[in-house]
Every structure is written in C-alpha cells, then in structure tokens.
Structure 1
C-alpha cells in the first residue's frame, strides 16, 4: 500500500478572472520508503502539492489518501494530529525562530506531545547528534551557516519520528559543497526507511532520487 495516493486532485485559488489553477486532475502514488523528486516550472503547483500531502491545504475535488485513509475533508484538529504524527516539513529558507536556539527550535514539535522534559531533551540531543550539529545546540540561527540552519530544520522535521519528510527546495539556497552534505543526510534518512518527497528545480538533485514526477501547468 502506498504511503501517499492522490486521485484526480484539483486545487484552485481565487475565483472568476482572478482564479489560479494550482493542481489540475493530478494523480500519483508514492510507496513507503521511496525517495522521489517533484519538478516543474514556477507556478506549476509543486509547493501546493507538498502542502496537500502535509495536510496544510485541502483539495477542491479529488482524493488524498495516506496509508489508505482519506485525509481530505478531515477537521483541523484531526489534521493537526496527522501532521504531528506523520509529517516532517523542510523549506528552502529554514523557517527557524530567530529568538530560539538550535536546541529550542528542534524541540518545538515535541512540546505538543505528552513527554517529560528529560525525555524531550534526550530525544533532541540524539537527533542533533545524528545530523552532526550537537555542538551548535546553544547557538542562535543567526550564528549558524546556511548548511547548519538546514541541518537544524532537518532535525526539527525528524525529531517526532515522522514517516514522511516533505522538502521544498531544501538545497536551493546552499553552495555546492553544503548542498552535497545535505543530500548525503537525506540519503541517510532514506536508508533508514523514511519516505522523502522533494521539490527541486535542480536536475542533478532530482536525479539522486528514485523517481521524478514532472508537473505541468496543463
């Protein structure tokens, strides 16, 4: 059974002459443990597709099923649990809180679960070690390089043991050397059994994935 299944998915923003069609009768399946890339021109709906997969955006029509369960149409409380239990998000510009340390940024997703402070601290330390930035735990994002900030964002995405990692241009703002180190980290997560869906405009990045989905505007 696929982790992710979309059937005839449609999404339009606005109405009338101002309407913008983001997804048009899109269908795809992503199996558990796959690492796939999504490519397409700017405005073709790539980020909208990730937001649908992550339960942030609902479809106008069509189906989105996760592990065989229909996600589209769930109430907001159910969607929050879905995201918390299954999804890790990574974005191009990191989306870290500038007034929180690396440690505090990574701990944020755990604060919505009923865990002791000691358990959360140990969990965050484990994840920071796994992505190679444990020594940066007390720094603020402004004191970190782009690659270190992206590793922090990856740590935050996986600290809840998410089944699926959704990454929107995760290497888009990085230099070539840092890009290679971040992709090595994604490959490690993939080898550990994570399902990874990555939006990218970079063909060399996409070709490191098992499959590439191309989205067109038509």
Structure 2
C-alpha cells in the first residue's frame, strides 16, 4: 500500500502496482500546496477536501481554507493584516473639547472586508487649579460622531494636574462593503471639565491601527 508521509503526502511504493497518472495525481493532491485561483468561481470549480487551501488572486493573495463551515465551507483563517497609522500625523492633538484626531487612509478595497480598530492614546494635562477632567479615548468605524464611536476607554484627571495617563479603546469586528471607505477614526471625547490636555504624537505613548481581512465568501 502507498506510504503516507508526516505532512500527509501519499507516496506510491515499489511493492504496489503502479499507475503513473493516478498515483502521481494522488501524490500531488495530497501535498497540501495552496492552489492559486483567479476568483470565487475558479475556487468553486475545484474538488475540495478538509484543509485544502487556495490563494485568492482577486483578494490580494489572501489564503482561504476549506473547513466545511459557514455558508460556503471556505474561511479566511490566517491572521488579519495590520494597517498602522503614523501618530505623528494626528491633528488637533491639543485642546479642551472633543475632537477628531485622525482618519486612517488606504483601507478601502475592491472586495468586502471585516475589520477592527485599536487606539491607544497617551494624554497629558496642564495644571488643574479647580475641578476635574474626564475624557474618553475613542475609536470608530463608519461613523462621523465621537458620540457613536464603537470603542471607548475613560480617563480621569484631578488637581494639581501636570501628568500623563494612557488608555486603549478598540472596536468589535465590523464589516464594510467593497469599494467603501470604513472611515476608521481616532478621537478624544471630553465628558466633563475645561482643562487643556494634549495627545502624545510619539509612538511609545500612542498607537492607532486596524486589523483587516476579506469577508468569507
């Protein structure tokens, strides 16, 4: 009988009857090499088996795995790709009111995506002579208002001020249609207080990034 190698490849052996075409075809099919496909239709024309992988040339070479789960049996199981913003490009870093810091560019794709966003801000305050300051680190997708941002983290500042705190907010996984900008945004939301505060635009203190992958199809 044929020999099955540790990686699952089925190899014919000398003691068995040998059929060149079928034996080599079986060996090739069991090497578990990802198959390049032009699109979904080309993928769907393949004879599938659990664990089979394809490279979607119409999806920026993302790898899909046949799991038998979901509506089509195919899933994007590899780690999402990370898109980092340059925090040095933040606008309105200093202020006293709620404000938009940055809208991430270059995330739109010609295919539907699923994504989440993470924003970590280091925020310092000036001297506080009276009252307090309450702010949210906020991050959002597909909304134009910090009030409806999907991820928030609260920070509180008290007298005498003159110190820095940091917090991280993140959105849940969300979907966006093909050729549509998800408008991934970083914000500061002021809940109470009128105190000058500044967002650090240095990478050790602030980070803003998105994780993206195609929607399963």
Which category describes the TM-score, using the shorter chain as reference length?
Answer: under 0.3
More strand by share: 2
Q: Which structure exhibits the higher relative contact order, with contacts defined as CA atoms closer than 8 Å and separated by 6 or more residues? A: 1
Which structure is larger by alpha-carbon Rg, 1 or 2?
Answer: 2
More helix by share: 1
Q: Using structure 1 for the length normalisation, give the TM-score.
A: 0.22
